A and B are shown apart, each in its own frame.
Chain A
Amino acid sequence: MDTKWAVQANHVSKNFIIPGKETVHALQDVSFTVERGAITGLIGPDGAGKTTLMRLLAGLMDVTSGELDVLGLSVNKESEKVQALLSYMPQKFGLYEDLSVQENMNLYADLHGIPQTIRKERFTRLLEMTGLTAFTGRQAGRLSGGMKQKLGLACTLVRSPKLLLLDEPTVGVDPFSRQELWAILHQLIKSDDLAVFVSTAYMDEAAQCKEVYVLNKGRFLAHGTPDELTQLSQGRCYQVRVPKGLLMRDVQAAIIDDSDYVVDAVPEGGAVRYIKNKRNQPIPWLAQYQMEEKPIASRLEDTFMMLLKEDELARKQDSSLLEDRRVTQAALLSEKQSSLVENKEELGIDKDTIVARQQAILTKEDIRNRLLTPHFEEREERPIEVSVSHLIRRFGDFTAVSNTSFTVQKGEVFGLLGPNGAGKTTTFRMLCGLLPVTSGDLMVGGVDVVKSRTKARTNFGYVAQKFSLYGTLSVRENLNFFGGVYGLSDKRKEERIEAMLDEFKLHDVIDMAAGELPGGYKQRLSMAAALLHQPRILFLDEPTSGIDPLTRRNFWRQITKLSKMGTTIIITTHFMEEAEYCDRIMIQDAGKLIAIGKPDDLRKQSKSGAINMNDVFIEIVLDGRKAKEAAI
């Protein structure tokens, strides 16, 4: 019992045997330890086996082989004893929706036998941390997505266990609460000497762990302290400033496209940072566009992206696995097929021209040129696509959105940010006609959404927060369905479906049931369905929540392309760094619009001179709250 380790795993494997299908090797021979009195992190893309690992530790599943020792006990044999000692927060915490916040917490406190004396102080702290103090009487089913997540966390933390397992606890949670959660974790470590094992998609969180494991496809790619891991990518990280007249996301797209030289690129603080691949050679064409690269210090995220990309490449090359080869070939083939169509669309050439220039194959250079040529006319006043004036929504005497007005121009990428419960989702649902407005005017795509909802919706594409296509239908059937309801003619439907399958590389899963697709595929399918009818406006509600960084890069690359083609995009997100991709963002808090503008403009509003969008956001919201208090 009194060893240093809370968890010791030796050669643990977990297979899922599905009758009639190939056995899935979810975890293959993994060995690791979780230290007492420390936070150990687990990072990895979707389908890496993170949740399986957590469930094994919690005794909710049995290992196929290997030894799994939790708190000195064998989980397999004594799962109930182990469960009495640990707390586990599943990815989707099962709240009782018709119970209030307080009642949910009471239930878990009772189940864990927390004495009344401790309970009061503990609840106060947890409620404060999660910002739920004002909502204790509200039924859990009526909380916003992020608030539910926070309540799940509070229920898990009603007691201090010996081992705390958290499976992506901060998905959909705003930066404030994330900060507070981590503060609590650090405090718990100190005061209660517990071990924490947490999986996360946020690298800034992983950086706060003592030790981090990187999991991919059931195997560990690396492990070590965050510093050690960060070191791995040292010397391969660079940034370039974005020249005048160019958009950050266009530059980022041009760089990330060039896989001969780079493995990853992201927009950040007015510049684009990127990681070079193993050869670590300078990108030859930067000078051509008056850009100059500058080495910078690496971060944990850089290492993570680097490891994943390299693992992916290694797998592609490893042709010993027949299955892998087949999939890869299919993927390569579809990439080739698609290059023709996609490149042309991106250049904004109309369909007739495509036919006329059927033979002309566009090179990478053409695309890059298009991305990096300043188009000043695009920056000028474009037609207004969405106009919102004096929008109000009340639920009973609760005002969810109060008197909000803004406009979005054609082809703009417009971000909606705000803490959980700020009214983002309500605003969003009203914009796409899912929720009637209490008062105010709403013109979207030139149609009054309040008056003629059905007509307005012809112009919309919509991707919901949670995967919400028909799970039992195959990919093709889903696409056929959406083609049908958007009224595409048979011929055009076929064309568009083909184009979307190419665009989102869905050819090899075309007959699979949508519900059985891995996370990244689901996200692509959602996008494909939303874009099938070439909508003028695309609504995206937290499309990147719970999605790994690799998929997120691909996702934003698509957005860049769409916006080039003139599609207006309205998006909500909790990844503040993603605000850098947006043309303009709007920040709401407690139902009020508190800031709107370009990322750079908002950065200027920050008095402390913060660069990082996360910090800028926190500062702006806090300033807004202070100003409000002062006014009262």
Chain B
Amino acid sequence: MSAWRLWWQQVWAITIKELLTTFKDPRSRIVLIIPVFVQGFLFGYAATYNLNRVPYVYVDESHSQRARDFIDAINYTGIFTLKEVLESPSQIASRIESGEAIMAVVIPQNFDSQLSNRSKAEVQLITDGKNSMTAGLTTAYMTEIAQQFNHQQLGLPDGPVNLSMRTWFNPNLQSSWTFLPGLIGLVSMTQVLMLAGLSVARERENGTFDQLLVTPVSSWQIMIAKSIPSMIIGLFQSTVLLGLSVFWFQVPFSGSLLVLYAVLIVFVLSSIGIGLSISAIANNMQQVLVYVFVLLLPLALLSGLATPVHNMPESLQVLTYANPMRFALDAIRRVYLEGVGMGAIIFDFIPMLVMTFVTMVLAAWLFRNKVV
């Protein structure tokens, strides 16, 4: 048998073993499948910055028809849900503090007279700043409502400037369009880190790693073989999420599957590298779980999943170069929503490949040279 064939045969044998140990236990099969669906649905439905049913209260001190019209205009949008009509502005504080309402509108006594006098009527808008994101969006929606009211009900002519806004690649500005593709990266990284991390630690705890190390296989063979199940599971989960977002949440896929999977493969590889390094450093399974967790949260924060990367200060942006998730998210979203080809995202590959290389070399060295 040629050395080359022997080499692959050994890798193959370990791979089969890894696959069997991963999939034979029904409990671990469940653990590999259920979370991805739960997370998919949770994020798909829960992760939204699009406002809906925002509870609000108002105080109408003018008691006029126009004020009632204005309130109707607010209710008409369906974005806001009226909770209570208050008697005086002093009541607002308790409603907002308790979280019953997150917006309060105060229509002043002189509302109608001001409007009739052709001057401006100031309507107070109070938002709950405890959630600054929601508060900001609420204000923006309300501004739009007021403008429309001015225009339609009060016959205010179009301003001298008419600004029409368009959003490319996501015409209705649905936040799930951004989150679902991002989720593909987050979920597969979480699962892959955990699997790759535990794969060696579990063998160490069970004593089987020594048994493996006395066989004539090299660290590289062990690593390659251990990467394959993680890769399969990572790609499988990505595919599930992709299916969920395309078919269930109906987020249109505009790119090429080939390019997307190229990104996913490289990304999963880099996650495997990190996972195996963790595995090589940790003494036991508990440590692996903790390390994965400690790593994952900052990685997710610095990935641009929830907040844009270039909002961050320079120093942090430099840090994100070591974060494969940042580049994967960028590439996945752009391929998915924008439909870009390989050329546009080629620079996303470089940091991920560098990370893969560094972590794999580290892990291979640690496998043999760490004295337990």
Contacts and interface: CB of A to CB of B under 8 A. Distances in A.
Nearest to A141: B283
A484 B6 contact: no
Contacts of A473: 17, 20-21, 24
A266 B136 CA distance: 87
B10 A434 contact: no
A454 B40 CA distance: 44
A538 to B, nearest CB: 11
A432 B24 contact: no
Interface stretch (A190-198, A249-257, A463-471): A463-471
Given A458-B216, A470-B208, A477 B9 contact: no
A480 B210 contact: no
A59 interface: no
B346 interface: no
Contact of B211 (A435, A436, A462, A472): A462
A469 B215 CA distance: 13
B14 A481 contact: yes
Interface string B144-180: 0000000000000000000000000000000000000
Contact of B13 (A454, A457, A464, A480): A480
Interface in A427-475: 432-436, 453-455, 457-458, 460, 462, 464, 466-473
Interface stretch (A115-123, A124-132, A304-312, A485-493): A485-493
Given A435-B371, A454-B217, A468 B10 contact: no
B1 interface: yes
A485 B14 contact: yes
Contacts of B10: 484-485, 487
B9 A484 contact: yes
A436 B218 contact: no
Interface string A372-412: 00000000000000000000000100000000000000000
B207 A454 contact: no
A45 interface: no
Contacts of A504: none
Nearest to B371: A435
Contacts of A435: 371
A483 interface: yes
A485 B214 contact: no
Interface residues of A, number: 34
A395 B206 CA distance: 24
A581 interface: no
A455 B213 CA distance: 12
A481 B17 contact: yes
Contacts of B291: none
Interface string B187-215: 00000000000000000001110111111
Nearest to A459: B216
A486 B216 contact: yes
Interface string A485-512: 1110100000000000000000000000
A482 interface: yes
B210 A464 contact: yes
A432 B6 CA distance: 22
Nearest to B24: A472
A462 B368 CA distance: 17
B12 interface: yes
Contacts of B17: 470, 473, 477, 481, 484
Interface string A559-588: 000000000000000000000000000000
A306 B5 CA distance: 52
A469 B208 contact: yes
Contacts of A464: 207, 210-211
Contacts of B208: 468-470
B91 to A, nearest CB: 58
Contacts of A466: 207
A435 B210 CA distance: 10
Contacts of A468: 206-208, 210-211
A392 to B, nearest CB: 15
B125 interface: no
A236 B371 CA distance: 52
Nearest to B207: A468
A458 B3 CA distance: 13
B216 A457 contact: yes
Nearest to A472: B24
A271 to B, nearest CB: 37
B16 A481 contact: yes
A462 B208 CA distance: 11
21 contacts: A433-B213, A434-B213, A453-B368, A454-B218, A464-B210, A464-B211, A466-B207, A468-B208, A468-B210, A469-B208, A470-B208, A473-B17, A473-B21, A477-B16, A481-B13, A482-B13, A485-B216, A485-B217, A486-B216, A487-B216, A539-B214
Given A434-B213, A457-B216, A484-B14, 4 more contacts: A454-B217, A460-B214, A483-B13, A487-B6
Interface of A: 395, 432-436, 453-455, 457-458, 460, 462, 464, 466-473, 477, 480-487, 489, 513, 539
Top 9 A-B pairs ranked by shortest CB distance? A484-B13, A468-B207, A462-B214, A458-B216, A457-B216, A481-B17, A485-B215, A487-B6, A468-B211
